[in-house]
Amino acid sequence: MLGNTSGKAFRVTTSGEAFGPALLGIVEGVPAGVPLVESDIQYELDRRRPGQSTIATPRQESDSVRILSGTLDKITTGAPIGLVIENEWATPERIAAYADEKDIIKPGHATYTYFAKYGIHRDWVADGRANGRETAMRVAAGAIAKKLLASVGVEIVGYTKALGGISAPAMPYETIREHADDSQVRCPDAETAERMLKRALAAKKDGESIGGIVEVIAHNVPVGWGEPVYDKLDANLARALMSIGSVKGVEIGSGFAVAAMVGSENNDLPCVEDDHISFRTNHAGGILGGISTGEDIVVRMAVKPTPTIAKEQETVDMVTKQSVTFRCKTATDSAIVPRMVPIAEAMVALTLIDHAMLASTKVAGKDDKQ
């Protein structure tokens, strides 16, 4: 299986399945001299962790991370950083529960495509690496990227923009940053958050699930990050977010709304404030020509309804080629969107730190020579 490495100057390679012994990660490109301990990473993992709300899967994992290499006396050495997260939920009894449905195509999942590509030797337990469990290591690596970005003043904040057809109003960045994690649904607007929660609980009661939109804002990104032509910053951001399971669309800035605009509406007019060039609007989402403009980078991703639902559905047995019915017996998220917020933030952070290093931006670290 290829495709488990992300980045060029800041490289992240992950491995591990939903019910394997552990998730593993190797992070390359972290400068020497950066203070780094498990608690720096654990904060972000706790935000992604399951079992924390009435609409999330009850699966209980501490998601405790250990740093195995790349630090000495709690300071990075410049060597690859090795990370491990043990899978505590992966007991023999829980693994055995999947055996009687291993040949059944679970609607909306990667069951069939993994079977078609890897055959009978694929990991059939909760769809193995196609399970959202693998994103925990993305978040761990993203926490390191966030720490490095903070050293040059870049902040990354995500929130639930829409859930089950209910959308949040436009809000200032400061409001989003301060209140993004206030509610179970991770919507900064309290009234909208309450409506979203009711919608998610109603779906759960009906054995259903709902999708939504996550918006991520990268604040204080310097001008000049991005590598045209094939490594445009927006192209790499879209690739990073689309690599997350259940994401079916990405837009940047005004996104698909630009299709209904005329040029004079869509163009962000430049101006000078305090001898600094900025823009009166931000339809471009902080990126022009694949290069950051200095305005906030604004990206949104569309998340499909969680395919694991409690309703009985018609499907097919891949081996016998017979029609069967399937009802999920395992833990479910009626709305996975809120748990996708820290994952989306991590992928944006990983993309931005990679481009920062490609642009030779100096991030936190010591260059002392002994």
What pLDDT score does 52 carry? Answer: 74
Tell me if residue 2 falls in helix, strand or coil: coil
Question: Residue 128 carries which DSSP code?
Answer: G
- Given a cut of 60, whether residue 304 has pLDDT beyond it is yes
What pLDDT score does 331 carry? Answer: 63
Question: Residue 101 carries which DSSP code?
Answer: G
Cα separation, 277 vs 279, whole angstroms: 7
Residue 367's pLDDT band (cuts 50, 70, 90): low
Per-residue pLDDT of 270-298, as tens digits, reads: 999 999 999 999 999 999 999 999 999 99
- Asked whether the beta carbons of 292 and 231 are under 8 A apart, the reply is no
- Asked whether the beta carbons of 283 and 296 are under 8 A apart, the reply is no
Place of tokens 């609980």: 201
What pLDDT score does 366 carry? Answer: 62
Of the chain, the end-to-end C-alpha distance in Å amounts to: 42
Report the pLDDT averaged over residues 126-144.
95
Domain-by-domain residue ranges, the chain? 5-358
Report the pLDDT averaged over residues 295-323.
95
Cα separation, 366 vs 75, whole angstroms: 10
What pLDDT score does 293 carry? Answer: 98
What pLDDT score does 50 carry? Answer: 77
Kindly report the CATH number that applies to the domain delimited by 5-358: 3.60.150.10
Integer angstrom CA distances of residue 202 from 56, 277, 309, 334: 13, 48, 13, 9
Cα separation, 9 vs 218, whole angstroms: 20
**219: CB partners within 8 A, 6+ apart:** 154, 155, 156, 157, 173, 177, 296
Tell me if residue 181 falls in helix, strand or coil: coil
Burial per residue of 29-56, b for 16 or more beta-carbon CB atoms within 10 angstroms, e otherwise = bbbbebebebebbbebbebbbbebbebb
C-alpha 49: how far from its chain's center? 13
- Asked whether the beta carbons of 246 and 304 are under 8 A apart, the reply is yes
Tokens of 275: 């001898």
Integer angstrom CA distances of residue 154 from 25, 196, 295, 348: 24, 30, 12, 11
Q: What percent of the chain has pLDDT over 90?
A: 84
Tokens of 129: 């690496």
What pLDDT score does 368 carry? Answer: 52
User: In this predicted structure, which of 129-133, 188-192, 232-236 has the lowest mean pLDDT?
Assistant: 129-133
Report the pLDDT averaged over residues 235-246.
98
For the chain, the helix, strand and coil percentages under 3-state DSSP, each to the nearest 5: 30, 25, 45
Q: What percent of the chain has pLDDT over 70?
A: 98
Tell me if residue 284 falls in helix, strand or coil: coil
- Given a cut of 70, whether residue 369 has pLDDT beyond it is no
Cα separation, 134 vs 245, whole angstroms: 9
Cα separation, 147 vs 63, whole angstroms: 19
Report the pLDDT averaged over residues 154-161.
98
Per-residue pLDDT of 207-224, as tens digits, reads: 999 999 999 999 999 999
Cα separation, 228 vs 231, whole angstroms: 5
Per-residue pLDDT of 8-56, as tens digits, reads: 999 999 999 999 999 999 999 999 999 999 999 999 999 998 777 788 7
Report the pLDDT averaged over residues 89-117.
91
- Asked whether the beta carbons of 338 and 289 are under 8 A apart, the reply is no
The angle subtended at Cα 93 by Cα 88 and Cα 99, nearest 5°, is 115
For the chain, the average pLDDT equals: 94
Tokens of 139: 């978040």
- Given a cut of 90, whether residue 178 has pLDDT beyond it is yes
- Asked whether the beta carbons of 148 and 34 are under 8 A apart, the reply is yes
Cα separation, 345 vs 138, whole angstroms: 10
What pLDDT score does 333 carry? Answer: 81
- Given a cut of 50, whether residue 370 has pLDDT beyond it is no
Question: Residue 260 carries which DSSP code?
Answer: G
